[in-house]
Amino acid sequence: MAEWAIVDSSPLIFLSKADSLDFLRLAASKILVPESVAEEIRRRGPEDVTARAVAETAWLHVTPDPPIPSVIEHWDLGPGESAVLAHAREAMCRTETHRRLSPGLRGGILQALWPNQALRPRPWIAITSPSPFVRRG
């Protein structure tokens, strides 16, 4: 199991509507929700099942959005998707640097962006819908 996961709004919305939010805990023990994702969900109103879940679920941790790299900005995604991918990219860079410094260690790879690396052990995972990978326009 990954140590932590970054989640976008779509999995949160669908799983909370199905009363199955606990499935996220199969991916990691700590689930991070970027602030822009939390804000997108809060706009649904305080009575929304997903908004209540984000506010009341202790193991969902709202975290500040990282700076969005230009490579991700050029994909023209929403703020939530961009924040999820920026968190994952940042984690991957830290992991890859750690791997180069410690050749005996195996670090994480962003499975959503590089599926051919999925068999490597990873301390984290990004959970998002497939829509960010579909070109808009």
Q: Report pLDDT for 72.
A: 87
Q: What region, left, alpha or beta, does residue 45 occupy, with left being phi > 0 and alpha being psi -120 to 50 degrees?
A: left
- The answer to whether the predicted template modeling score (pTM) of the entire model surpasses 0.85 is no
**Distance in angstroms (rounded) separating the CA atoms of residues 76 and 117:** 25
Q: Report pLDDT for 125.
A: 59
56, HSE (Cβ side, Cα atoms, 13 Å):
10
Q: Report pLDDT for 59.
A: 92
2-132: in CATH 3.40.50: yes
Q: For 46, phi and psi rounded to 5 degrees?
A: -70, -20
Side-by-side strand order, sheet with 28-34 = 60-63, 28-34, 2-7, 124-127
**Distance in angstroms (rounded) separating the CA atoms of residues 125 and 26:** 11
Lowest mean pLDDT among 44-48, 54-58, 68-72, 91-95: 91-95
Q: Where are the domains of the chain?
A: 2-132
Inform me whether the pLDDT recorded for 104 exceeds 70: no
Lowest mean pLDDT among 36-45, 73-82, 92-101, 109-118: 109-118
* Percentage of the residues of the chain whose pLDDT score is greater than 70: 67
